[in-house]
Amino acid sequence: MIKRILVANRGEIAVRVMRSCREMEITSIAVFSEADRTAKHVLYADEAYCIGPAASKESYLNIEKIIEVAKSCHADAIHPGYGFLSENATFARRCREEGITFIGPDPETMEAMGDKISARIKMIEAGVPVVPGTQDNLKSVEEAVELCNQIGYPVMLKASMGGGGKGMRLIHHADEVAEAYTTAKSESLSSFGDDTVYLEKFVEEPHHIEFQILGDKHGNVIHLCERECSVQRRNQKIVEESPSVFITPELRRDMGEKAVAAAKAVNYIGAGTIEFLVDKHRNYYFLEMNTRLQVEHPITEEVVGVDLVKEQIKVADGQVLQLRQEDIQQRGHAIECRICAEDTEMNFMPSPGVIKQITEPNGIGVRIDSYVYEGYEIPIYYDPMIGKLIVWATTREYAIERMRRVLHEYKLTGVKNNISYLRAIMDTPDFVEGHYDTGFIAKNGEVLQQCITRTSERAENIALIAAYMDYLMNLEENNSGLAADNRPISKWKEFGLHKGVLRI
């Protein structure tokens, strides 16, 4: 039985995995870089070991070092979280060679689905709809131009080993092909060590819908319904919700069956995600498979009542999946917002630094998966996401109201952050009404930026008020010996006298 798990990751996902381990009475083992000595996952774990310098390639991506630590501390299994080595077939294979259970799919499955060209072929064989496009590696610009003309513009040029929007270029005209081809191959090579690219027909006005799946070592596979992930900026998700207001019950049933078929086609074991693009006419196409836990998995947990990390561990331990498809029912509505240390007024540049003050919201239906605390310094070396704010309510309307409230309560100083931007999204009519697709940010960009500007002005006014009240308090202290009838005026009355000047 698995009794000791090394979590080969950092940040909020490491803490989240360790929480499930603690509930299961499993010892959690942290690994950390020199930049993460005081990180929350290090403090939370039962044991912790340094694996190298701050740079990821020398620590969190150092396969042999992680394997060495796992063996020396007698770990039964390794949970990779997401990102870093979570979809690295070489890492999964090394775990198997050393007799360490890898909490995830087999390396052969990773290789089959990690290569998007290979994945397309597998899905076609399994009867899963795919976006029209090429099945082979593009060899030249001339071939790319010829194929683009055949498929019809607009088309999407993609890196075969890509993810997170890297190595991806949208092409509207023939004269854009050469530059897109060159830059996509270069970006793919630098990001993934592979410059293979292919073409797909661009699906206009698409919804990004993904289905959570679970499979065990005994051939059982189920899906846990869908997540709507269409609020994206530069192909990076910002807000996710479940269920999707765009998906009908009939479409949900059909897509769920295809997601299960896709997973069975590659003998999938563990938690994974089948991602689809759904056009405005509700035609859907396989996009890719993520052979790991997703960032947005909490909203699925909230609406179906299943701890996905616990299920991952049980499946990896050889247990038969106890959940049946008929057991899975969506209950209520959940929304997740990604809280990031980034400057929304400076093109979302990362904003590392020291957290000076943090007040996290709470109350019924509120969940925070985070890893920061007051005094913690967010390193410059890693992803700027510092946490996920998740709410659940009985209806979507109530969930949006709750998210507005908790975003208002969430206070974070010391680093720039995107909380005001997320508030603006919650107030945008297209989102509130559920009439949005992956073009939401581009369509509403100007409105969202105006909301950020107004919020910034409001913060400046509050700062002026606070400074003036501090001045009055000091004035009162310096004049404390005066007679009662000569005491300075009440701070709140003074504020009232000036509220016409200082706007809130």
- The CA-atom distances, in angstroms, between 54 and each of 36, 37, 40, 235, 415 are 8, 10, 16, 27, 20
Q: Name the catalytic one among 10, 169, 252, 292.
A: 292
Q: What is the DSSP letter of 204?
A: S
Please say whether the beta carbons of 95 and 88 come within 8 A.
Answer: no
Residue for token digits 């089959």? 112
Residue for token digits 């693009």? 277
d(CA 188, CA 186) in angstroms, rounded, equals 5
d(CA 371, CA 369) in angstroms, rounded, equals 7
Residue for token digits 């996920």? 388
Residue 113: its H or E element: helix 107-114
Amino acid letter, 285? Y
Residue 22 has which token pair?
A: 């603690």
Please say whether the beta carbons of 191 and 167 come within 8 A.
Answer: yes
Q: In what order do the strands lie in the sheet with 385-393?
A: 284-290, 270-278, 207-215, 221-233, 236-242, 333-340, 385-393, 366-370
Residue 109 has which token pair?
A: 């499955």
> Do the bridges between strand 385-393 and strand 366-370 make them parallel or antiparallel, or are there none, so unpaired?
antiparallel
Residue 293 has which token pair?
A: 């836990």
Contacts of 464 (CB under 8 A, 6+ apart): 502
Q: Residue 450 pairs with which residues in a beta bridge?
A: none
- Buried/exposed 292-323: b ≥16 CB within 10 Å, e otherwise: bbbbbbbbbbbbbebebbebbbbbbbeeebee
Please say whether the beta carbons of 9 and 82 come within 8 A.
Answer: yes
Residue 237 has which token pair?
A: 């998700």
- Would you call 501 helix, strand, or coil by DSSP? coil
Please say whether the beta carbons of 368 and 388 come within 8 A.
Answer: yes
Q: What angle do CA 121, 122, 123 make, to 5 degrees?
A: 90
Q: What angle do CA 110, 113, 114 make, to 5 degrees?
A: 70
Q: Residue 350 pairs with which residues in a beta bridge?
A: 342
Residue 234 a catalytic site member: no
The values of phi and psi at residue 227, to 5°, are -130, 140
Would you please indicate which residues are annotated as catalytic (active-site) residues?
Answer: 292
